[in-house]
Structure 1
Amino acid sequence: MDATLTLLNLAGAVALLLWGVHMVQSGVQRGFGPNLRRGLSQAFSNRLKAFATGVGVTAVLQSSTATGLMTASFAAEGLIGLVPALAIMLGANVGTTLIVQVLSFDIGPLAPLLLCIGVVMFQRHGTATRTHDLGRVAIGLGLMLMALGNLLTIITPYEDVPSLRLFLGAIATAPVIALLVGALVTWAIHSSVAVVLLVMSFASKDVIPLSTALAMVLGANIGSALNPVLETTTAKDVTGRQVAMGNLLNRLAGAIVVMPFLDTISVWMLLLDPASSRAVANFHTLFNGAIALILLPLLDLVAKALRLLLPPRFEAQDPSRPLYLEETAKETPAIAIAGATREALRMADVLEEMLRGAMQGMQQNDYRRITETRRMEDVVDALNTAIHNYLTDLDAESLSEEDDQRLFSILTFTTNLEHAGDTLDRDVMALAVKKLKRGIVLSSQGTADLQALFERLSTNLRLATTVFMTHDLREARTLAHEKTLFRDFEREASEAHIQRMRSQKSESIEASALHLELLRALKAVNDKLVAAAAYPRLEAEGELHNSRLRTRPGSVPPTPENDEK
């Protein structure tokens, strides 16, 4: 029973440590994610600047994985080459050691103070979102300190347990096993910071020799580099895979060189600082610093080798397959939402191609072009489904208020684009097929009107995309006004159709009816474009009426309750 309780207490302390690390990372991502991304995007002029930026961003973010994801996204956009990306990752490896340095000192008594300050700041989220996020960071640091203290308390009584000593003795005599254990645990829990802190706790209580602790630290470095490699295996962008693989190979090479000298290095670390926990932290920093110092001048050669190892794959592009919805980016909402935004723009491009195809197919009576255009609607549907599934799968607790608003605008935009594509396929293209099969010939004026409307729809689609990206209020008003213009076109066409019927011009009535149906279908497409971008922006500014009905003196405003009565 005592053994079971001890294992539960140990598991709880480790879980608390992991949760503290998670809170620090999520708090920084929410509060400073966009600023960190912006700073990272300006660091590509040379490798030294890229390295320094990698150190700074990761020291604040405390996640080399998140830094790597941002770097990979810039590489996918063609904004960064492989060499500066590798330099950033070398800096990220050094940056992630800095919090270990801070926590290696005896700052355990600060835990209650950090928790109290953090809770007070966290409760003030209604007035200042940044204060709320910093409170989360303080709570996370407090929980990490408490967890480390609990680990030491739990471990102390069991230092001399024979079975534990036997297991640790086996590890101590086989540094490779210690390295593998460190790598496996880090891979499983996705946090080298937590594993190194755990190893520091063991070393400070002499549960394991210092040389074994250093071997486990090497394993933690390899394990943290292994996760991005596994996560980018199926990634479409080869540069992201090259960066992840390069980071892993750099650490593996460093570990292979250092492993035979761990006993000697242990003595040096103790001479530098006699405290075992500090020795572990110093080794962690010096190991990553030495790798960066040696490899920074050699990154051109490393990049050349990676291009040979992972050459670009040339394969047929499936237009319905999303390009920017990386699963690994879900841990960083700012990156995930940016990817979804780019995918939404792809949807707009496909819809614009549908509009061109519809106009050309109808003008030229080209059945093949009409069929190709109808197939594009499947692409729009597939992209919309992928974007919705991706965004709704994000952790709601990791989203800031700004993230929530942007997520909602993306879903609104893509849903209406998908409806516009449905209308083009179901109504407009069906009418084009009807025109072709029945041999209906529109008048020259009717053909010119339809061409003008198609061109206007393409312009409005580009305008909707601009409003979606820039939130420009003036452009939103312009787009909303297009709904009135299309309504006027429909009224004029309806009146002309009625005049033809009254004059009994039977040869033009069928063409006139088809023209009117097409106009109504195109108007429905335009309505979706207005709803996709203009209405959300105008509604946010309070510039939309609840109803177009004029309220007369003494009349009851239309509401669902009054309608039921």
Structure 2
Amino acid sequence: MSFSSLITFAGGIGLFLLGMRLMSDGLKVAAGSALRGLLARATGSPLRALASGVLITALVQSSSAVIFATIGFVNAGLLTLGQAVGVIFGANLGTTLTSWIVALVGFDVDLRVLAMPAVALGMGLWIAGRGRGTALGQALVGFGIFFLGLDVLKGAFSAVGPDDLFGLAGHGGERAMPVVAFTAIGIMLTLLMQSSSAALALTLTAAATGMLPPLAAAAMVVGANVGTTSTAVFASIGATAPAQRAAAAHVVFNLVAAGAALALLPWMLGASAFLTAAIGLEQQVATTLAVFHTLSKLLGVALVWPFTGALVAMLERRFGSREADPAVPHFLDRAVAATPRLAVDALAMELTRIGAIAQAAARTALAGTGDDDAALLREQGIVDRLGEAAIDFAATVNSGGDPVVEAALPDAVRVAQYYRSMAERAVELGRLAPMAAPPAELAPSLHALDAAALAALADADPAAGPRDANHLDLSIDAFEAAYQHAKSELLRAGSRGTLPSTALVRALDRISILRRIIEQAGKGALFIAHLMPPPASAAAAPGPRPDVPVP
């Protein structure tokens, strides 16, 4: 292979990878809530989960994106691990669509006729469009570049002889490499390009132009399927426990499917050629390999599906060390940040958890005796660390022009700040123990204030479910009325000399801090109501978005 041919070959791979990236990123954003809706409907049954995985992967052209989105739903509690495993199996089956596109379009059609209009129209939408229109334009540009790269690869392979690049593939004889070597090449190509679709397109193009014999190409297809697990494995390092479990399920499926396909390779390839002829498709190597790719995935589903329950049970018992640390985020995962709407869902779930910890600190301080400082400081430290993690995570999310996400990210930062402030005030409150024996005229108002505070905290607890804004407002108004009455009674007692000045100042400080806690809890609950994903059966949207300044 000449130097110029090598450069052309590398450029073709680069164009193909760029096209895949633009297409996948654009489609993920353009799909928006539709992606979330399809995944949410996967909860009906295992077969529906499998079908959802196939459909969504075909929609966004990236099994990795679907697996990451599935991880986000598991993190958010919207999918169980069992349902997620079904989606992951479906995503692996859906990724065979790329092979079919390459096989059916890549060799009988003038690819530039497809590519140039797609790039032209896509750039027009990308420049002039807004929101999803821009994302759709990006996806169309990626679609065009995808075919340009495929065209360049086809030309690069046609310009060289079979012995120039893949000579060791052999077509029999002493120079033939073992099948396992080509499986390893498929794995390495996928690892290097971080895209099984790119490795598959390269393999199918090489086979179609005579650079690879069918058996070697089929082995490389199997290797690409194994190599694609690297993306999930790398993403799961340091990730949440649900992410690690989902990645493990992905790895198990692909290893089982690859092992079975390799063991039956000659027979499956023969069956693929037979099916290609039986369904009336043109007898091309690329088409036969696309059928083989689909059969290998179907074989994997057939082998693993009966043991899904045992696999889920085994995975549930592992990867739990992260969940045991309350100061480590349970729902925030860098893989989820790639899908904006799911990233907002993950933020809402983590902020709900942070709010529950801040709530516990407030209740401890309210009922305390002044001896809870160590426990309160520990809970404040947890809230601080989790709040910082939520703010940092929000900064990594690319809204993609989605107005819902653009509005939600600042709100998420607000909520994190509200709960951090709430936990800090709880420490201050805990250091101001209530009066042990208040004067008789003060006791009713102080007790009523504490009761109103507990009621308001209960109504503002984000872990209790969707907030009724009107009910929460009434609860906070009731607390405010109790606060004003208690404050008036304290000032009156101080002016009469019933309450010493030191005790008066301490009591006023205490109820003022308590008031601040209730304000922060209420604001946090109202904003979370607009961040939380609505239930599938919800008929109405949350109340109007609160408009309050960041403290």
TM-score (norm 2): 0.82
- Aligned with residue 509 of structure 2, among 513, 517, 525: 517
Question: Is 1:440–1:510's contact at 8 Å kept on the other side of the alignment?
Answer: no
Consecutive unaligned residues of structure 2, counting only runs of 5 or more, are 531-542
- Aligned with residue 327 of structure 1, among 313, 326, 334: 334
- Tell me: CA distance 1:431–1:397, structure 2 relative to 1, closer, same or farther (3 Å): closer
Question: Is 1:501–1:509's contact at 8 Å kept on the other side of the alignment?
Answer: yes
CA displacement at 1:241 relative to structure 2: 5.0
Partner in structure 2 of residue 112 of structure 1: 116
Partner in structure 1 of residue 97 of structure 2: 98
- Tell me: CA distance 1:446–1:306, structure 2 relative to 1, closer, same or farther (3 Å): same
Partner in structure 1 of residue 260 of structure 2: 254
- Tell me: CA distance 1:221–1:429, structure 2 relative to 1, closer, same or farther (3 Å): same
Partner in structure 2 of residue 46 of structure 1: 45
- Tell me: CA distance 1:12–1:91, structure 2 relative to 1, closer, same or farther (3 Å): same
Paired residues for 1:54-453 under 5 Å: 54-75=53-74, 84-104=83-103, 105=105, 106-107=108-109, 108=111, 109-126=113-130, 129-159=131-161, 162=164, 164-166=165-167, 168-169=169-170, 173-232=177-236, 234=238, 235-237=240-242, 239-259=245-265, 261=267, 264=270, 268=274, 273-292=282-301, 294-295=302-303, 299-304=305-310, 307-308=313-314, 311-312=317-318, 317-361=324-368, 365=369, 367=371, 369-394=372-397, 396=398, 398=400, 400-425=402-427, 427-432=428-433, 441-443=437-439, 446=442, 448-453=444-449
- For residues 3-50 of structure 1, the C-alpha deviation after alignment (integer angstroms, 9 at most, x for no partner) is 2x6544433332221221122222222122432332223234433333
CA displacement at 1:465 relative to structure 2: 6.0
In structure 1, distance between residues paired with 2:83 and 2:505: 62
In structure 1, distance between residues paired with 2:396 and 2:209: 42
Asked if residue 23 in structure 1 is aligned to residue 26 in structure 2, the reply is no
Question: Is 2:219–2:262's contact at 8 Å kept on the other side of the alignment?
Answer: no
In structure 1, distance between residues paired with 2:263 and 2:400: 40
How many residues are aligned here? 522
- Tell me: CA distance 1:503–1:82, structure 2 relative to 1, closer, same or farther (3 Å): closer
Partner in structure 1 of residue 540 of structure 2: none
More helix by share: 1
- Tell me: CA distance 1:171–1:150, structure 2 relative to 1, closer, same or farther (3 Å): farther
SS in 2 for 1:43: helix
Question: Is 2:222–2:262's contact at 8 Å kept on the other side of the alignment?
Answer: no
Percent of paired sites with the same residue: 21
- Tell me: CA distance 1:337–1:189, structure 2 relative to 1, closer, same or farther (3 Å): farther
Consecutive unaligned residues of structure 1, counting only runs of 5 or more, are 547-565
Question: Is 1:203–1:210's contact at 8 Å kept on the other side of the alignment?
Answer: yes
CA displacement at 1:62 relative to structure 2: 1.8
Question: Is 2:76–2:345's contact at 8 Å kept on the other side of the alignment?
Answer: no
Question: Is 1:182–1:223's contact at 8 Å kept on the other side of the alignment?
Answer: yes
In structure 2, distance between residues paired with 1:47 and 1:497: 63
Q: Which structure exhibits the higher relative contact order, with contacts defined as CA atoms closer than 8 Å and separated by 6 or more residues?
A: 2
In structure 1, distance between residues paired with 2:384 and 2:337: 22
Aligned CA RMSD, in angstroms, stands at: 3.8
- Tell me: CA distance 1:453–1:13, structure 2 relative to 1, closer, same or farther (3 Å): farther
CA displacement at 1:180 relative to structure 2: 1.1
- Tell me: CA distance 1:521–1:44, structure 2 relative to 1, closer, same or farther (3 Å): closer
TM-score (norm 1): 0.80
Partner in structure 2 of residue 556 of structure 1: none
In structure 1, distance between residues paired with 2:102 and 2:187: 21
CA displacement at 1:141 relative to structure 2: 0.8
SS in 1 for 2:294: helix
- Tell me: CA distance 1:14–1:135, structure 2 relative to 1, closer, same or farther (3 Å): same
SS in 1 for 2:283: coil
SS in 2 for 1:42: helix
Question: Is 1:111–1:143's contact at 8 Å kept on the other side of the alignment?
Answer: yes
CA displacement at 1:100 relative to structure 2: 2.8
Question: Is 2:51–2:87's contact at 8 Å kept on the other side of the alignment?
Answer: yes
In structure 1, distance between residues paired with 2:461 and 2:6: 56
In structure 2, distance between residues paired with 1:282 and 1:161: 27
- Tell me: CA distance 1:544–1:228, structure 2 relative to 1, closer, same or farther (3 Å): closer
Question: Is 1:242–1:310's contact at 8 Å kept on the other side of the alignment?
Answer: no
In structure 1, distance between residues paired with 2:159 and 2:24: 33
Larger Rg: 1
In structure 2, distance between residues paired with 1:103 and 1:148: 8
In structure 2, distance between residues paired with 1:52 and 1:194: 24
Please say which of residues 26-35 and 405-414 is displaced more in the overlay: 26-35
Please say which of residues 225-234 and 511-520 is displaced more in the overlay: 225-234
